[in-house]
C-alpha cells in the first residue's frame, strides 16, 4: 500500500509534533509514522508494578536493543548487547514520544549556550562549536512553546535570567509544597538565589486539557489528565482534529529511499509485519537522536553508499547526553519541629525549586560553563522506595519486625529530598552512534551501536554544582546526604548525531535543519544540537521544531 502526503514525519515526539501541528493547521496534508503504540489519557494508569517492574513503555530487549560500547580503566572497549547487560536506551516508544514520560522541567537555554566556543573557549579533546543561530532567533519560538504547549511558573530575577519578550509564563505555578519556602530560606542563608522551576504542566483546566491531578507520578509515567504538555495532548490531537494529519502508530520505518539528491519514499512495517510506503514532497526525521542516525545509516543507496546524508561521514558523530548526576538526603521527623513534620506529610504538591547561580562561574582564573540544579522529593513510586529497605546497612536481609519498622520510618516518619544536576556533555570523537551488522532487531535491521564516553571536564563541572546542592540539603536539616556525579549517560536526555551548521564539511544539516546533501529531508529531533546547554532538552527541541516548521511552510508555499 502506498500513501501520499505533502509531508511525511518519522517520529511523533517533541521534534515531530510541532511540525505536524504547524503544517496541518496551515492546510497541508501530513502523515506521521510512529514506531510505538497509541495511548490515550485513559491508558496511563498509575500502575507502579507495570512501570517499575515490567518496563511497560519500552520495547523488550530481546526484540529491540542496542549494542553498547564503553571504555574500561585501561582504555579498552567493552562491548555488550542491551539484552546481555539489561542496559535500556529506549524511552517513550509511543505516540508523543518521550515527552509523555518527562517530569516537565522546562528551562530555556541561555544566550551563551549558543556560542560555547566563543565565550568559553576550546576544551582539549572536545569538539565544541558555536551554534549557527543565536538566542535571539530562538526566543520567539521559546515563547511560542509557552503559549501553544503550555508552561507554568513564575519569573523572578536571578543571576543568569535569560532575556524574554514576555514578562512571565502564561500559566501560574503548580501547587507548591511548603518545603519550597524552606529551600528559599536555606538558599538565602547560604547566599544563593533559589528560583521557581518552570514546568510543562498545566495547573488547572486550560487549552482543552484538564489540569494537574497532583499524583506526583510524572517522571517515567504518562499523564492521565493531559495536564503534562507532552506532544500528543498539546499538539498532535489538535493536528488530527484539523482533518489534515494522519498518525500511523505501530509503524516501524526501516528505510528512507532516495534517488539522486532527493528522498522519494519511506518504507515501514506495520504491527503485523506487512510492508507499506509513504510518498511525500518533504520528509522530516524526528525519531530521537540515536534512532534517527541509525535509520539514516541503514538507508543506503547508490548515491549514499554509507547511509543517507552521510557522504561526509558525519551522521552519528558528536552524540551528546546530559552530564551531571543526583544527590539526596533524608529529613527524619524526630529531628524536626512538629509543624515541619506535619508539612512533610503533605503529598502531591511540587517542590518547584532550582538554582542557576553557577550557570557560569570562574575557577583558577578560568571562566567555565556551569549548569542547573533542580530540587525535588524522591519519586512517588512506592515500590523502589520499599525495595531500598529490604537490606540493612551491612547488606543483610531484613524481615519481620525489623523490616516493618524500617518501612514505617521510610513512609511515615521521614522524607527524602533529592536534587538533579544538569550540565553540558561535551561532544567528543569517542561518543557516537553507528550500526552493528551482527545484531539485528525483530525486523531484521542492524541495531544502533552506541559508543559512550563522557569528557572528564563534564565530571568536574558536575561535581562543582553537586557540592553547592549538598550544602542546601544540609542546611535544610537533611541527614545521610550523598551525591553522585557520573559519566553514565541518561537514555532520556540524548542529542547530537546530525549537528547543524553552515559548513557541509563539519555538519550534517544546514541552519534550517535540512540535510546538506538531501534536497527534501529535514531532521528536527535533538539530533541537530551541536551542544546541549545545561538544561533538559525538551523545550529547545519543541522551539526549534516550530522554527523549522515555519521554514518548511515558506518553502511549500513558494513551491521550492
CATH number for 176: 3.50.50.60
Q: What pLDDT sits at residue 520? A: 98
- Spatial neighbors of 368 by CB under 8 A, at least 6 apart, are 120, 360, 361, 362, 461
**Residues 424, 533 contacting (CB under 8 angstroms):** yes
Cell numbers placing 76: 579498552
Select, from the ranges 35-49, 265-279, 392-406, the one with the highest average predicted confidence (pLDDT): 265-279
Q: What pLDDT sits at residue 231? A: 96
Residue 396 has pLDDT above 90, yes or no: no
**Residue 395 confidence class, pLDDT cut points 50, 70, 90:** confident
Half-sphere exposure of 165 (CA within 13 A, CB side): 13
Q: What number is the average pLDDT over the span 41-53? A: 79
Q: What pLDDT sits at residue 384? A: 84
Helix residue ranges per DSSP H, 126-284: 135-145, 179-190, 231, 237-241
Q: What pLDDT sits at residue 380? A: 86
Q: What pLDDT sits at residue 484? A: 95
Residue 409 has pLDDT above 90, yes or no: no
**Residues 528, 498 contacting (CB under 8 angstroms):** yes
Residue 58 has pLDDT above 90, yes or no: no
Residue 303 has pLDDT above 80, yes or no: yes
Total number of domains in the chain: 1
**Residue 560 confidence class, pLDDT cut points 50, 70, 90:** low
Mean pLDDT of the chain: 94
CA distance 323 to 486: 8
Q: How confident is the model over 486-522, as pLDDT tens digits?
A: 988 988 899 999 999 999 999 999 999 999 999 999 9
Q: What number is the average pLDDT over the span 327-347? A: 93
Q: What number is the average pLDDT over the span 334-340? A: 91
SS3 category, 394: coil
Provide the residue range defining the domain that includes 482: 2-557
More confident residue, 440 or 89: 440
Q: What pLDDT sits at residue 49? A: 80
**Residue 167 confidence class, pLDDT cut points 50, 70, 90:** very high
Give which of 506, 95, 515, 559 is closest to 318, Cα–Cα.
506
Residue 213 has pLDDT above 90, yes or no: yes
Residue 541 has pLDDT above 80, yes or no: yes
Q: What is the pTM of this model?
A: 0.96
Residue 219 has pLDDT above 80, yes or no: yes
CA distance 409 to 287: 44
Amino acid at each position: 500500500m502506498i500513501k501520499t502526503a505533502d509531508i511525511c514525519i518519522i517520529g511523533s515526539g517533541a521534534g515531530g509534533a510541532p511540525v505536524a501541528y504547524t503544517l496541518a493547521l496551515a492546510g497541508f496534508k501530513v502523515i506521521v509514522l510512529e514506531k510505538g503504540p497509541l495511548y490515550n489519557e485513559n491508558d496511563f494508569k498509575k500502575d507502579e508494578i507495570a512501570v517499575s517492574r515490567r518496563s511497560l513503555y519500552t520495547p523488550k530487549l530481546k526484540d529491540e536493543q542496542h549494542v553498547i560500547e564503553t571504555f574500561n580503566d585501561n582504555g579498552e572497549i567493552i562491548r555488550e548487547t542491551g539484552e546481555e547487560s539489561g542496559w535500556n536506551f529506549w524511552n517513550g516508544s509511543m505516540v508523543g514520544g518521550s515527552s509523555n514520560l518527562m517530569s516537565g522541567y522546562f528551562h530555556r537555554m541561555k544566550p551563551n549556550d549558543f556560542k560555547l566556543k566563543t565565550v568559553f573557549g576550546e576544551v582539549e579533546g572536545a569538539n565544541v562549536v558555536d551554534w549557527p543561530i543565536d538566542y535571539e532567533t530562538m526566543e520567539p519560538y521559546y515563547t511560542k512553546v509557552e503559549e501553544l504547549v503550555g508552561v507554568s511558573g513564575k519569573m523572578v530575577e536571578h543571576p543568569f535570567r535569560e532575556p524574554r519578550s514576555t514578562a512571565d509564563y502564561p500559566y501560574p505555578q503548580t501547587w507548591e509544597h511548603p518545603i519550597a519556602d524552606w529551600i528559599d530560606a536555606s538558599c538565602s542563608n547560604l547566599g544563593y538565589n533559589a528560583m521557581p522551576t518552570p514546568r510543562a504542566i498545566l495547573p488547572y483546566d486550560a487549552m482543552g486539557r484538564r489540569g494537574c491531578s497532583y499524583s506526583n507520578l510524572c517522571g517515567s509515567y504518562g499523564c492521565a489528565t493531559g495536564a503534562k504538555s507532552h506532544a500528543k495532548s498539546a499538539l498532535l490531537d489538535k493536528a488530527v482534529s484539523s482533518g489534515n494529519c494522519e498518525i500511523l502508530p505501530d509503524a516501524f520505518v526501516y528505510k528512507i529511499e532516495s534517488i539522486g539528491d532527493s528522498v522519494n519514499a519511506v518504507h515501514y512495517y506495520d504491527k503485523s509485519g506487512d510492508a507499506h510506503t509513504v510518498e511525500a514532497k518533504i520528509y522530516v526525521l524526528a525519531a530521537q537522536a540515536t534512532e534517527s542516525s541509525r535509520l539514516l545509516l541503514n538507508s543506503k543507496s547508490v548515491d549514499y553508499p554509507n547511509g543517507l546524508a552521510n557522504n561526509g561521514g558525519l551522521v552519528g558523530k558528536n552524540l551528546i547526553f546530559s552530564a551531571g548526576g543526583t544527590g539526596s538526603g533524608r529529613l527524619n521527623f524526630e529531628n524536626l519541629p512538629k509543624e515541619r513534620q506535619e508539612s512533610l506529610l503533605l503529598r502531591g504538591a511540587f517542590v518547584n525549586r532550582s538554582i542557576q547561580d553557577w550557570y557560569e562561574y570562574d575557577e583558577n582564573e578560568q571562566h567555565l560553563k556551569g549548569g542547573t540544579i533542580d530540587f525535588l522529593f524522591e519519586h512517588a513510586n512506592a515500590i523502589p522506595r520499599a525495595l531500598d529497605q529490604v537490606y540493612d546497612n551491612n547488606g543483610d536481609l531484613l524481615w519481620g519486625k525489623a523490616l516493618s519498622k524500617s518501612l514505617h520510618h521510610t513512609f511515615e516518619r521521614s522524607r527524602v529530598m533529592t536534587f538533579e544536576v544538569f550540565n553540558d556533555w561535551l561532544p567528543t570523537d569517542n561518543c557516537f552512534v553507528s550500526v552493528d551488522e551482527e545484531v539485528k532487531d525483530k525486523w531484521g535491521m542492524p541495531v544502533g551501536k552506541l559508543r559512550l564516553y563522557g569528557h572528564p571536564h563534564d565530571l568536574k563541572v558536575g561535581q562543582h554544582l553537586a557540592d553547592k546542592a549538598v550544602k542546601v540539603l544540609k542546611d535544610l536539616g537533611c541527614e545521610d546526604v550523598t551525591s553522585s556525579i557520573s559519566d553514565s549517560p541518561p537514555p532520556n536526555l540524548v542529542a547530537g548525531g546530525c549537528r547543524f551548521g553552515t559548513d557541509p564539511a563539519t555538519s550534517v544539516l544546514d541552519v534550517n535543519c535540512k540535510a546538506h546533501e538531501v534536497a527534501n529531508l529535514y531532521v528536527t529531533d535533538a539530533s541537530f544540537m551541536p551542544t546541549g546547554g545545561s538544561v533538559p532538552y525538551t523545550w529547545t527541541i519543541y522551539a526549534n521544531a516550530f522554527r523549522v516548521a515555519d521554514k518548511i511552510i515558506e518553502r511549500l508555499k513558494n513551491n521550492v
